Amino acid sequence: MLEPLPHVREIPPYVPGKPPPARPGLTAYKLSSNENPYPPLPGVLGAAEQAASAMNRYPDMGCVALYDALATRLGVGTDQLAAATGSVASIYHLLTAYCGPGDEVVHAWRSFEAYPIAITASGATGVKVPVTADGRHDLDAMAAAITDRTKVVLVCTPNNPTGPALTHSEVAAFVASVPDRVLVVVDEAYLEFVRMADPVDGPALLRAHPNVVLMRTFSKAYGLAGLRVGYAVAHPDVAGALRAVALPFGVSSVAQAAAVASLASEDALQARVDSLVDERARMVEGIVAAGWSVPDPQGNFVWFALGERSAAFAAAAGEAGLAVRPFAGEGVRVSVGEPEATDRLVDLLQTLEPPA
Ligand SMILES: *Cc1c(COP(=O)(O)O)cnc(C)c1O
């Protein structure tokens, strides 16, 4: 049999968050994929159904309605946008367009598990820069890791799975220190959940530095994970390259319609995000009251740095009807979801010994 290209064998597998285990008499909760526990925003299901009724037609390949809505909202040109089947696909498109064998891509680690997969698939080499003990990007070390071979740096803020976000000043200083020929991707999958001083202003970064690429998604705050739609905001030349390598007709008509309707439901979105942020605060209070601690969570998830205890912790959570996401030997990520799930997590923590 013909062999795939050598790097294809090196692609690490993606480990998806497991569904919750069935426990008789116990409502199970899925806290393993950073999904939104809420149903679609008002008007979204209707828009999706209407689009679905025309499923015999191809979607609008130009994503005109979506780009118009996003351009107005973000204050950018429609030529600065490139939609994709989730922002994971945007990352693939960027790496496909700009990287190949011999090129390097610098990113923090542990960070989003799709990065090493997408980097390896592009043929490029990933350069992992360890996060600090409190789960933050070490931007000085990342800047120092840039070589003549570096094409792209991936910055994830808030960082999945560890939780902390970078400030605007930190990212702006970092971008200023990176050579103009290197693209700096700012992965803002969780930006709506950030509640800290000096939050990243992505469009301002992009105005100041044309080598910045913002990655955003409808999967998390907007709750459209199952429909697969995200986008990049970039300099028109970069956005054009991403659109050029994208699969034709990738973003379905249902996903486009749902995204446009979601953008029109801003007040309801804010209310939901606020309530998840409140739930996150309540979760942290419970965690601390149980004698545990987590790095400052700025997304819709918290991180327990449990090392070798991670698998056992995830198993205990499973027994309690909670699906969580273990990273073997490193830690466990738990999404913020239903209040009862939070209560159950805190009850579990009270029965376990926190790490020293
Ligand atoms: C969830 C996530 C994404 C986007 O996922 P899609 O569903 O493909 O849009 C991107 N980056 C990070 C860090 C994420 O956690």
Q: Ligand 1: which atom is nearest the Cα of residue 88?
A: 8
**What average pLDDT does the chain have?**
96
Of the candidates 234, 226, 221, 148, the one whose C-alpha atom is nearest the C-alpha of residue 186 is: 234
* SS3 call for 309: helix
Tokens of 243: 């659109």
Q: Is the C-beta atom of 187 inside 6 A of ligand 1?
A: yes
* SS3 call for 157: coil
Domain residue spans of the chain: 6-30+267-349, 44-263
216 contacts 186 by C-beta, under 8 angstroms:
no
* SS3 call for 232: strand
pTM: 0.97
Q: Ligand 1: which atom is nearest the Cα of residue 156?
A: 13
Query: Which residue owns the Cα nearest ligand 1 atom 12?
Result: 189
Q: Is the C-beta atom of 87 inside 6 A of ligand 1?
A: yes
Q: Ligand 1 centroid to 348 CA: how many Å? A: 28
Q: Ligand 1 centroid to 44 CA: how many Å? A: 20
Of the candidates 136, 142, 137, 98, the one whose C-alpha atom is nearest the C-alpha of residue 118 is: 98
Q: Ligand 1 centroid to 169 CA: how many Å? A: 24
**What is the structure's pLDDT at 32?**
96
Distances (CA, A) of 123 to 127, 147, 329: 13, 17, 27
Strand ranges (E), 26-149? 29-30, 81-84, 104-109, 125-130
Fold classified for 6-30+267-349: Aspartate Aminotransferase, domain 1 (3.90.1150)
Of 131, 216, 219, 222, best ligand 1 pocket probe by most atoms within 8 Å of the beta carbon = 219
**What is the structure's pLDDT at 35?**
97
Q: Ligand 1: which atom is nearest the Cα of residue 85?
A: 8
Give the mean pLDDT per block of 10 residues along the chain (356 residues). 92 83 87 96 97 97 97 97 98 97 98 97 97 97 98 98 98 98 98 98 98 98 98 98 96 98 97 98 98 98 97 96 96 98 98 92
Distances (CA, A) of 62 to 14, 65, 208, 211, 258: 30, 9, 27, 24, 16
| Calpha distance 205→157 (Å, rounded) | 14
CATH number listed for the domain at residues 44-263: 3.40.640.10
pLDDT digits (tens, 9 = 90+) for 126-175: 999 999 999 999 999 999 999 999 999 999 999 999 999 999 999 999 99
| Calpha distance 122→148 (Å, rounded) | 18
